Amino acid sequence: MRIHQALLMAGLLAAVSLAAAQTTSKVVATVNGENITEQQMLQTASADLSKLDANRPQPQAAYERAKLEVHWKALNSIIEDKLIAAGAARSKMTREELLNAEVESNVGTPSAEEVEQFYEANKAQISIPKAQALPQVRQYMIDSSGRRY
């Protein structure tokens, strides 16, 4: 009975130690007092890291640089999400409402005349009928806002 209890205690201690080790990950950034751990970053980067490993660039330095870029992209994504969430909470809005208010509403929508002018200026490069092309031209102009046509 004592051996059984000792084994049970040893197993529990090992499980607690393992759980503690898994939850304590190196902090790589802090946003508004909230830590972002290396484990979170790696989890966010996992799909991109898998793709990178599948198409491993040579030499090793190129691979390490690409891996670092994947880590930065993942970290920036987490930071962006936390900042958007904090901004939404401050404004008492949902994430989607905040993005709409701050981003979507500031994107210029081209007028029908501007879309028509753009189409006419570029119709030689467009291979679909005008009726199908105009909505796509409008979306292209919205996606490229800030450019001069």
pLDDT of residue 39: 96
Q: How far is CA 22 from CA 29, 31, 42, 47, 71, in A?
A: 18, 21, 13, 20, 19
For the cut 90, the answer to whether the pLDDT of residue 57 exceeds it is: no
> Considering only 9-18, 82-91, 106-115, which range has the smallest mean pLDDT?
9-18
What is the tens place of the pLDDT at every residue in 62-84? Answer: 999 999 999 999 999 999 999 99
- How confident is residue 142, by pLDDT bands cut at 50, 70 and 90? confident
> Considering only 17-21, 69-73, 108-112, which range has the smallest mean pLDDT?
17-21
Burial class (CB in 10 A: 0-12, 13-18, 19+), 148: exposed
* More confidently predicted of 25 and 79: 79
pLDDT of residue 16: 42
Q: Report, as an integer, the average pLDDT of 7-15.
A: 43
- How confident is residue 6, by pLDDT bands cut at 50, 70 and 90? very low
Write the CB contacts of 30 (distance below 8 Å, at least 6 apart in sequence): 36
Rounded to 10 degrees, the C-alpha dihedral 96/102/103/108 comes to 130
pLDDT of residue 23: 52
- How confident is residue 25, by pLDDT bands cut at 50, 70 and 90? confident
